[in-house]
Amino acid sequence: MDLAANIAKVQSSLESASEGRYPVPKLICVTKTHPAQDILPLLPLGMTEIGENRVQEIREKAPILNPEKTDPRFRIHLIGRLQTNKVKYIMHDVCLIQSLDRMELALEINRQAEKAEKVMPCLVQVSPAGEPQKGGIAPEALPAFLREVAQLPGISVRGLMAVMPDLGPCPALEQLFQNMRVLFEHVRDEAIPGIQMEELSMGMSGDYLYAARHGATMVRVGSAIFGPRA
């Protein structure tokens, strides 16, 4: 597995796909299922923002990835569905929760943040194709949800995240990326007090080109860098 070559390839594809129309999105390397020892080689490559989707895995790997709690080497993003009873385990290991998708979860993150005397940065997960079973707030419910979360002092909303349906490359999929960008700009222009709309996290190994073309600020890429997961 040539990590350096794979990363260079993804980076250059992102650069050409964003076409100078949008800034090149930041590459978040999705390291789920890979042991900490296999993740450490990302450090000298400058890939320090990583995505993990399971709390248990984060708890196991964080002490190896970030031995100095006060000076972490990696910034870990939580990108998977988060159970409310597990929020308390990740408050100190995660720099961004990308999967805030319901009020019950927001209330628990807020509660744990206040306990830890910190503010947790979050992205609100939106269901791009109206598939709420896949997680995410329906687009039409988003403004009201954001206004409610804005009242919680322990949460700082930084933007939106979407997991696209697995359609394979096709115009319908590209349209969903475009719709997400439109939605992002729409809520950004609403300028809801207490809400920052800076990040739009969308795009994975199979579709990061569409994401870059339609104004993602972050893409979450795993298998195109690490190879297929077992």
Stretch that binds ligand PLP, among 34-42, 55-63, 108-116, 199-207 (CB under 6 A): 199-207
Q: Is 79 exposed, middle or buried (0-12, 13-18, 19+ CB in 10 A)?
A: buried
Fill in the amino acid letter for 176: L
Q: Tell me: does residue 214 bind ligand PLP (CB under 6 A).
A: no
Q: Which is nearer to ligand PLP, 121 or 222 (CB)?
A: 222
Number of H helices, E strands in the chain: 9, 8
Q: Tell me: does residue 204 bind ligand PLP (CB under 6 A).
A: yes
Q: Tell me: does residue 205 bind ligand PLP (CB under 6 A).
A: yes
Q: Tell me: does residue 48 bind ligand PLP (CB under 6 A).
A: no
Count other Cβ atoms within 10 Å, centred on residue 147. 14
Q: Which is nearer to ligand PLP, 137 or 152 (CB)?
A: 137
CB of 225 to ligand PLP, least distance (A): 8
Helix (H) or strand (E) holding 62: helix 55-65
Q: Which is nearer to ligand PLP, 143 or 205 (CB)?
A: 205
Q: Tell me: does residue 13 bind ligand PLP (CB under 6 A).
A: no
- In the list 30, 96, 105, 183, the residue contacting ligand PLP (rule: CB under 6 A) is 30
Q: Cα angle at 78 between 125 and 189, to 5 degrees?
A: 35
Q: Which residue is nearest to ligand PLP (CB)?
A: 222
Q: Tell me: does residue 221 bind ligand PLP (CB under 6 A).
A: yes
Q: Tell me: does residue 158 bind ligand PLP (CB under 6 A).
A: no
Which neighbouring-strand residues pair with 214?
Answer: none
| Strand runs labelled E in 74-225 | 75-78, 96-100, 120-126, 155-162, 199-201, 218-221
Distance, CA of 216 to chain centre: 11
Q: Which residues are near ligand PLP by CB under 6 A?
A: 30, 32, 53, 79-80, 163, 204-206, 220-224
